Amino acid sequence: MDFLTLLQILDSTVRLATPLLLACLAGLFSERAGIFDIGLEGKMLAAAFLSGAVAYTSGSVWLGLLAGIAASLALSAVHGLASITFRGNQLISGVAINFLAAGLTVVVAQSWFAQGGRTPQLTGGARFNPIELPFAEALRDVPVFGPIYAELISGHTFIVYLAALTVPLTWWILYRTRFGLRMRAVGENPAAVDTAGVSVVGLRYAAVGICGILCGIAGAYLATALQAGFVKDMSAGRGYIALAALIFAKWRPWYALYACLLFGFLQALALRPDLIERVLTFKVNGQLLDVLPYILTVIILAGFVGKAIPPRAGGEPYVKER
Amino acid sequence: MDVMPKWAEVILVPLISLILAAILSAIVILAIGESPWDALKLMIEGALGSTYGWGYTLYYATNFIFTGLAVAIAFHARMFNIGGEGQAVLGGLGVALVCMYIPWPHWSLALVGASLGAALFGAAWAAVPAYLQAKRGSHIVITTIMFNFIAAALLNYLLIGALKMPGSMEPATGKFPEPTHLPSFQDMFSFGETALFRGAPANVSFFVAVAACIAVWALIWRTRLGYEIRAYGHSESAAKYAGISPTKIIMIAMMISGALAGMMAINNVMGEAERLVLNAVEGAGFIGIAVALMGRSHPFGVFLAAILFGFLYQGGAELALWTSIPRELIIVIQALVILFTGALDQMVRGPLEKMFLAARQRKQATGKLEAAE
């Protein structure tokens, strides 16, 4: 395999890892605050649809992005209401949200656009277009560094760079701010946070809200950057892979980046079966590459390669003592 | 003392949740420019207005009884088996292997064999997450989700490889041999000239599903094992103190759950398709969650809820056929049922409990007054 092909694979790795990363960090905020969220998939899907629909009708991708975030936040509000205010089962709420999104997006898309549950193709300003970083063309001829800069680092859409920035930002919020400290505490021992006079409910709603915003961006990326428009079930299990990446990363932001890049790399490889065969000289089953993230997660969960311990108060509704 | 009388707990709470889900669904139908009333009439007409409609309704209901019981029995041990989908996929594989490679003399023997095959494969697929939960503490919800994806990929791999019918392009097995074909309701209930259930897929496995309801009821409330499962579900520490092994209960409850989910395959794979195709389960494993929540994890409740969802599925297909409302509306209704009966239970229950409490206090107060006079 030559250098340029490798760069191409890594380039599509970055593009495919972006939605995983955003959804994974979304889950990280929610779960670190003690709210399990298996509804990442549904929130992404709803955001993908509404961002695609609004971007198409308004012609502006930015309005689309905002609409996507709004759709995702609305579902987050349902999740918050069910799991924080009414102390319901967070897992069941997540399942309900996934189905709600899977059904509503198609029903509404059919009613608005009558194209079999999809939005029309997005073109021009209704999509996020690649951003050429400065000097990309000028530096292309510099050996090794030039192609890496021009092919791999430059030429992605706005959201890819945003996602990359979200990682250090998440780390900073989580470990260097008062809010982050309290948020982590509320996921481990909400009673202690309550005793200190900080609102458990408020913190958890804030975390669920951040989760909604990030899932919204991830969904908008699917419909307006990765592809040109919404199609039925376009999230295609990415929410669950993000969940797997979150466990793989043991709920830590930098490791979430590595896990998502790994899973993105597997997805990129699955798209190029010809290449794998050429390099390895034997055929690797495509299905195997597709399920590898899930198998790896089960192995990690089983604790055979370092144990993944979730936040201690995760999944437990907080009942204030009376 | 319970705040609410039992009838309110069993009937009123699910009913109110259902009404809330129905109101929101009606709003969705209104919003896309159709009439909810006409839609309801069309659904009732299409699903319950003929023996043909009933044949489809009961066919879907059979699937949902199995998956609903599967989720319900796990709920009794306070576990959330979200992997019914994958277990049903593996059950289909078990049925296909039994039907294709064993020469059966008669369908009744084949049904017994296929049920065992389906249950065994489903139970085995549930056993791995159960073991990881019991021994390594891996969260059962996450592992069963992962196993759903792995099951789908495994089936895909087998159906384009080892199990594919030679010479065919379609990822499916060949037709099962004649002696394994189950009698459909049309074969069973048509006399002379009058053909009932014509062309509908409901078949003898509906009665197996009913028998499974009774068996699960007997297991949960009439045996020592069922008592242990319920005890573990109510309090793990109390169960441990009483000498009940958590590992044993997790393993057994999950394997029964997986076996029931797998047995769904005798209906859809053996009874209807008579061959194994990709995506034969069609989400029935997930509908089991809604059915179990709606039926309050009681086999009779599961039976009623399964019929309701069978009606919704057949009615939804009719809607998609005659109106511009797509089939996915049923997924929305299903989501709303899960939301209201499962996650927002407290929202429905809270005001009701307050009402009953207030009524009781009023009664006590007037009783005291009368006594004083």
Tell me the pLDDT of chain B (373 aa) as tens digits: 467 788 888 888 888 988 999 999 999 999 988 899 999 999 999 999 888 999 999 999 999 999 999 999 999 999 999 999 999 999 999 999 999 999 999 999 999 999 999 999 999 999 999 999 998 888 888 899 999 999 999 998 899 888 888 888 888 888 899 888 998 888 888 777 777 888 889 999 999 999 999 999 999 999 999 999 999 999 999 999 999 999 999 999 999 999 999 999 999 999 998 999 988 888 899 999 999 998 989 999 999 999 999 999 999 999 888 888 888 899 999 899 889 988 888 888 888 888 888 888 888 888 877 877 7
Assess if residue B370 is contained within a domain: no
Q: For residue range A47-61, what is the model confidence (pLDDT) as tens digits?
A: 999 999 999 999 999
Residues of B in contact with A294 (CB under 8 A): 146-147, 149-150
Please answer yes or no on whether B342 and A88 come within 8 Å at the CB atom: yes
Contact across the interface for B157 and A285, Cβ inside 8 Å: yes
Residue B366 lies in a domain: no
Chain B CB contacts of A82 below 8 Å: 339, 343-344, 347
- The 8-class DSSP code of residue B177 comes to P
Q: How far is B210 from chain A (nearest CA, A)?
A: 27
Show the domain range for B259. 58-190+199-311
Confidence at residue A100, expressed as pLDDT on a 0 to 100 scale: 95
Q: How far apart are CA A173 and CA A62, in angstroms?
A: 25
Q: How high does pLDDT run on average in chain A? A: 89
- Looking at the 3D structure of chain A, how many domains does it have? 1
Closest Cβ–Cβ partner in B146, B328, B334 for A244: B146
Neighbours of A144 (CB within 10 A): 8
Which pLDDT does position B360 carry in this prediction? 85
Q: Which of B282, B299, B286, B297 is nearest to B341 (CA)?
A: B297
Contact at CB, B143 and A291, closer than 8 angstroms = no
Domain that holds residue A216: 3-235
CA distance B131 to chain A (A): 10
- In the prediction, which pLDDT does B323 show? 86
> What is the total count of domains within chain B?
1
> Would you call B334 and A107 a contact, using CB atoms and an 8 Å cutoff?
no
pLDDT at A305 over 70: no
Which residues in chain B touch residue A114, judged by CB atoms under 8 angstroms apart? 324
pLDDT digits (tens, 9 = 90+) for A71-85: 999 999 999 999 999
- φ, ψ (nearest 5 deg) of residue A87: 50, 40
Whether residue B369 is contained in a domain is answered as no
A103 lies in a domain? yes
Asked if residue B276 lies in contact with residue B85, where contact means CB atoms within 8 angstroms, the answer is no
Look at residue B1 and tell me if it is in a domain.
Answer: no
For chain A, give the number of residues: 322
How far is the alpha carbon of A156 from chain B, nearest alpha carbon, in Å? 30
- Residue B208 to residues A265, B317, B354: CA-CA distances in angstroms? 47, 25, 42
Chain B contact set for A45 (CB, 8 A): none
Between B80, B330, B343, which is nearest A88 by CB? B343
User: How far from chain centre, in Å, is Cα A281?
Assistant: 34
Q: Specify the DSSP class assigned to residue A272.
A: -
Rounded distance, CA B336 to CA B354, Å? 24
Of A38, A87, A287, the CB nearest to B153: A287
Residue of B31, B149, B343 lying closest to A237 (CB–CB): B149
Q: Is residue A77 part of a domain?
A: yes
> Which residue pairs from B167-171 have beta carbons closer than 8 angstroms and sit at least 24 positions apart in sequence?
B170/B277, B171/B277, B171/B278
- pLDDT of B2: 67
Show residues of chain A in contact with B137, CB under 8 Å: 303
Q: Mark yes or no for CB contact A100/B149 under 8 Å.
A: no
CB-defined contacts A:B, below 8 A: 147
Collect all residues of chain B within an 8 Å Cβ-Cβ radius of residue A96.
Answer: 335-336, 338-339, 342-343
Query: Which CATH number goes with the domain that contains B186?
Result: 1.10.3470
Are A215 and A43 within 8 A, CB to CB?
A: yes
| CB-based contacts of B45-51 (< 8 A; 24+ apart in sequence) | B45/B318, B46/B314, B46/B315, B46/B317, B46/B318, B46/B319, B46/B321, B46/B322, B47/B310, B47/B311, B47/B312, B47/B314, B47/B315, B47/B318, B48/B311, B51/B185, B51/B189, B51/B196, B51/B197, B51/B198, B51/B200
Quote the CA–CA distance of A90 and A206 in Å, as a whole number.
Answer: 16
Determine, yes or no, domain membership for B334.
no
Q: Is residue A73 situated within a structural domain?
A: yes
Answer whether B208 touches A (CB < 8 Å).
no
Q: Is residue B58 a contact partner of residue B310, using CB atoms and an 8 Å limit?
A: yes
C-beta of residue B262 within 8 angstroms of C-beta of residue B119: yes
Does the interface ipTM go beyond 0.85?
Answer: yes
Average pLDDT of the segment spanning A187-194: 92
- Which residue has better confidence, B149 or A302? B149
Residue A174 lies in a domain: yes
> Chain A contact for B140, CB < 8 A?
no
Between positions 279 and 298 of B, the ones with CB within 8 A of A are: 286, 289, 293
CB A13 within 8 A of CB A258: no
pLDDT for position A281:
67
Q: What is the DSSP string of B220-279?
A: HHHSHHHHHHHHHHH-HHHHHHTT--HHHHHHHHHHHHHHHHHHTHIIIIIIIISS-BTT
Determine, yes or no, domain membership for A274: no
For residues A166-194, average pLDDT? 95
Do A30 and A208 touch, CB atoms closer than 8 A? yes
If you measure CA to CA, which chain A residue comes closest to B347?
A: A86
Considering only CB atoms, B136 lies closest to which of A285, A288, A302, namely A302
Q: In the numeric block, which tokens belong to residue B64?
A: 């949902």
